[in-house]
Chains A and B, each alone.
Chain A
Amino acid sequence: MDSPIYLDHAASTPVRPDVFEAMRPYFSERFGNASSTHRWGRETRTAVDEARERVAACLGAHPDEICFTSGGTEGDNLAILGAWRANRTHTRSGVACSAIEHKAVLGSVHECAHEGADERLLAVDHTGTLDLHAARAQIGADTAVVSVMWVSNEIGTIQPVRALAEHCHEHGVLFHTDAVQAFGKIEIDTRTLPVDLLTVSGHKFGAPKGAGATFIRRGLTLEPLFYGGSQDRGRRPGSENVPFAVGLATAMELTLAEHTRESARLRALRDRLEAAIVAALPDTVVHGHGAERAPHILNLSVPGTDSESMQMALDLAGIACSGGSACQSGSVTPSHVILALGVPHELAAAAIRMSVGVLTTDAHIDRVSTVFPMLARKARELASA
Chain B
Amino acid sequence: MSNTPRVLVAMSGGVDSSVAAALLVRDGWDVVGVTMKLFADGHDLPDRPCCSLDSTSDARRVAEKLGVPHYVLNMVDHFSRDVITDFVAEYARGRTPIPCVRCNTFTKFSDLVAKADGIDAEFIATGHYARVVNGELHRGADDNKDQTYFLWGIDRAVLPRLLLPVGTMTKPETRALARELGLPRVADKPESQEICFVPDGDYVKILRRELPADAPALSRGHIVTLDGTVVGAHDGFAQFTIGQRKGLPGGFAEPVFVVALRPETREVVIGPREALLGSGVTAREVNWLVADAPRVGAAVQVRVRHRAPLVEARITRLDGGEIELALDAPISAIAPGQSLVLYDGTRVLGGGFIEASRPAIARA
**Smallest CB-CB separation from A316: which chain B residue?**
B119
**Smallest CB-CB separation from B70: which chain A residue?**
A330
CB–CB B69/A315 < 8 A: yes
Contact stretch, chosen from A6-14, A61-69, A135-143, A306-314: A306-314
CB–CB A379/B118 < 8 A: yes
The secondary-structure label for the interface of chain B is: mixed
The total of interchain contacts (Cβ-Cβ below 8 angstroms) comes to 44
CB–CB A332/B74 < 8 A: yes
CB–CB B118/A309 < 8 A: yes
CB–CB A331/B72 < 8 A: yes
CB–CB B56/A312 < 8 A: no
Interfacial residues of chain A within 285-331, with CB under 8 A of chain B in the complex: 308-309, 311-313, 315-316, 328-331
Cβ of B329 under 8 Å from chain A: no
Residues of A within 8 A of B53 (CB): 328-329
Q: Chain B contact residues (Cβ within 8 angstroms of A): what range?
A: 10 to 19
**Smallest CB-CB separation from A333: which chain B residue?**
B74
A316-B32, A329-B56, A333-B74 given; A382·B37 CB < 8 A: no
- Give Cα A330 to B118, complex, Å: 19
B112-132 Cβ-contact flags toward A at 8 Å (1 or 0):
001101110000000000000
- Give Cα A309 to B120, complex, Å: 12
Residues of A within 8 A of B119 (CB): 309, 312-313, 316
Cβ of B73 under 8 Å from chain A: yes
- Give Cα A347 to B45, complex, Å: 32
A329-B37, A329-B56, A331-B37 given; A312·B72 CB < 8 A: no
CB–CB A316/B37 < 8 A: no
- Give Cα A313 to B117, complex, Å: 10
Interfacial residues of chain B within 48-64, with CB under 8 A of chain A in the complex: 53, 56, 60
CB–CB A312/B74 < 8 A: no
Residues of A within 8 A of B72 (CB): 329-332
Q: From B2, B37, B60, B115, give the contact of A312 (CB < 8 A).
A: B115
Residues of B within 8 A of A333 (CB): 74
- Give Cα A195 to B11, complex, Å: 49
Cβ of B71 under 8 Å from chain A: yes
**Smallest CB-CB separation from B1: which chain A residue?**
A1
Residues of B within 8 A of A311 (CB): 71
**Smallest CB-CB separation from A306: which chain B residue?**
B118
Residues of A within 8 A of B73 (CB): 308, 331
Residues of A within 8 A of B118 (CB): 309, 312-313, 378-379, 382
The secondary-structure label for the interface of chain A is: helix
How far is the CB of A238 from the nearest CB of chain B, in Å?
28
Q: Chain A contact residues (Cβ within 8 angstroms of B): what range?
A: 10 to 19
Interfacial residues of chain B within 263-280, with CB under 8 A of chain A in the complex: none
Q: From B1, B34, B56, B117, give the contact of A382 (CB < 8 A).
A: B117
- Give Cα A222 to B135, complex, Å: 68
B89-118 Cβ-contact flags toward A at 8 Å (1 or 0):
000000000000000000000000011011
CB–CB A382/B69 < 8 A: no
**Smallest CB-CB separation from B41: which chain A residue?**
A329
Residues of A within 8 A of B41 (CB): 329
- Give Cα A331 to B76, complex, Å: 10
**Smallest CB-CB separation from B2: which chain A residue?**
A1
- Give Cα A309 to B71, complex, Å: 10
- Give Cα A333 to B75, complex, Å: 10
- Give Cα A231 to B241, complex, Å: 64
- Give Cα A308 to B72, complex, Å: 9
CB–CB B114/A330 < 8 A: no
A316-B32, A329-B53 given; A309·B74 CB < 8 A: no
- Give Cα A308 to B115, complex, Å: 9
CB–CB A331/B114 < 8 A: no
Residues of B within 8 A of A312 (CB): 32, 34, 71, 115, 118-119
Residues of A within 8 A of B60 (CB): 330
- Give Cα A66 to B1, complex, Å: 51
- Give Cα A331 to B117, complex, Å: 20
- Give Cα A313 to B69, complex, Å: 11
**Smallest CB-CB separation from B121: which chain A residue?**
A316
**Smallest CB-CB separation from B6: which chain A residue?**
A316
CB–CB B69/A316 < 8 A: yes
A324-346 Cβ-contact flags toward B at 8 Å (1 or 0):
00001111110000000000000
How far is the CB of A1 from the nearest CB of chain B, in Å?
8
How far is the CB of B60 from the nearest CB of chain A, in Å?
8
Interfacial residues of chain B within 310-348, with CB under 8 A of chain A in the complex: none
CB–CB B71/A330 < 8 A: yes
Residues of A within 8 A of B115 (CB): 309, 312
CB–CB B69/A331 < 8 A: no
How far is the CB of A116 from the nearest CB of chain B, in Å?
24
**Smallest CB-CB separation from B60: which chain A residue?**
A330
Residues of B within 8 A of A332 (CB): 72, 74
Q: From B1, B32, B74, B117, give the contact of A308 (CB < 8 A).
A: B74
Q: Which of B32, B60, B71, B73 has the most chain A CB atoms inside 10 A of its CB? A: B71
- Give Cα A313 to B119, complex, Å: 5
How far is the CB of A375 from the nearest CB of chain B, in Å?
9
How far is the CB of B167 from the nearest CB of chain A, in Å?
26
B344-363 Cβ-contact flags toward A at 8 Å (1 or 0):
00000000000000000000
How far is the CB of B110 from the nearest CB of chain A, in Å?
13
- Give Cα A209 to B32, complex, Å: 29
A127-151 Cβ-contact flags toward B at 8 Å (1 or 0):
0000000000000000000000000
**Smallest CB-CB separation from B77: which chain A residue?**
A333
- Give Cα A128 to B31, complex, Å: 39
Which are the 4 A-B pairs with shortest beta-carbon distances? A331-B72, A309-B118, A331-B74, A330-B72
13 example contacts (A-B, Cβ-Cβ < 8 A) are as follows A1-B2, A308-B73, A308-B74, A309-B119, A312-B71, A313-B118, A329-B37, A329-B41, A330-B56, A330-B60, A331-B37, A379-B118, A382-B117
